[in-house]
Amino acid sequence: MNTKVKQPRELNIELLRIVLMVMIVCHHFLMRGRGLHLLYTSESTHINNDALQGLFIDSFLIMTVNCFIFISGYYGIKFRIKTILSLLIQAITYSIGIDIIFNFFTGDTLSFDSILNGLLSVPNGQWWFITAYFFLYLLSPFLNLAKKYLSKFQFLYILGVFTMINFIIGFTLDPTPLGVLNGYSLFSFICIYFYGQAFSTYLNFEKGKLFYLGLYVICSLLIFGMFFMGLKYIGVGIAWRAFSYNNPVVLISAVSFFFFFKNLKINYKVISFFSSSVLAIYLIHEHPRSADFLTDNLNAAAVNYKIGSVYITLFLIAVLLFLGGTLIEKVRTAVTEPFLNYLIRKSGWDRLDEKII
């Protein structure tokens, strides 16, 4: 089997992770702040021009989650007990910490249920992405064995079955027993993880960065076109399928966006300072209590103090939120990292790394 030697992540991929998180924040601003999520539950097939503009922009943003998971598959997750514990501590800290901050300003007291929900924030799905990614990480040592021990035919056969379940049957029919859930699922993450491994090992499809950029733009336009045509000729429920994470066009968009950045040459080492905080930005702005507060108030600010247009202003706000969140994450790391290192050192849990991988 011809397996490529794993290379350390390049700075261009670290930049990609930053860009993806800013795009995710923009996506959530559009969905909630601009009220686009309300269209999903509407029976009406009439959408005004302002909403169509937002959906057009969102067609360029919807591939972000798939791209994140594709990165993990392409480079392969290297299992570490410390990383697992770090993610748990990070989620618990932000879950309870944000509740404390909001309670401070509202005068409420922190309830036992809030503390319990914070402690169980990862397994109970407070952040759906974090929950799915956490268990993908736990499974990664065994998912990596497929590329290591299976033949090329066996590996691609499994990928073909995953594709049929997730991107064909799951997208067109979405049967409940398969648990695809429009791509919002651990199964979908496993499928995309395998795609990343396949492209890093078996699928040699090398083109220039302009080719990948063009493909990304075409796919984004197709996503919007699928929505528009579905809305016009079929119905709003079918139309929204275009924005499902298991839409094959969304996957192609994510892969092409990844390879566009893969072909860039980036040498700014300061990128690493910011890229290590991407998950923290997600946890901060997608906490149940901060999500609505941020999107409602920041959208109002973007409307009242817009620079050029509402969408440009929302993008600038997303960048500022990323910068501010990075500083918060650095402070959190400085506080909790010594405790984590002490816990690992005293428990000796890091010895499990070698036994698992």
Instruction: Compute mean pLDDT per 10 residues along the chain, 357 residues long, and list them.
Output: 49 96 93 70 66 91 98 95 95 96 88 92 96 97 94 96 97 91 96 97 88 97 94 84 96 98 89 93 94 82 83 92 96 94 88 82
Q: How far apart are CA 357 and CA 350, in angstroms?
A: 12
Beta bridge partners of 309: 307
Instruction: Indicate the pTM of the whole model.
Output: 0.93
Instruction: Please enumerate in sequence order all residues whose Cβ is within 8 A of that of 327, keeping only pairs 6 or more positions apart, or say none.
Output: none
Specify the 3-state DSSP secondary structure of 264: coil
Beta bridge partners of 307: 309
Structure tokens at 31: 């969905």
Q: How many CB atoms lie within 10 A of CB 54?
A: 23
Residue type for position 313: T
In the block, residue with structure tokens 């798939």: 66
**C-beta separation of 118 from 89 below 8 A:** no
Q: How far apart are CA 162 and CA 240, in angstroms?
A: 22
Structure tokens at 272: 């690493």
Structure tokens at 81: 């007990």
Q: How far apart are CA 301 and CA 316, in angstroms?
A: 12
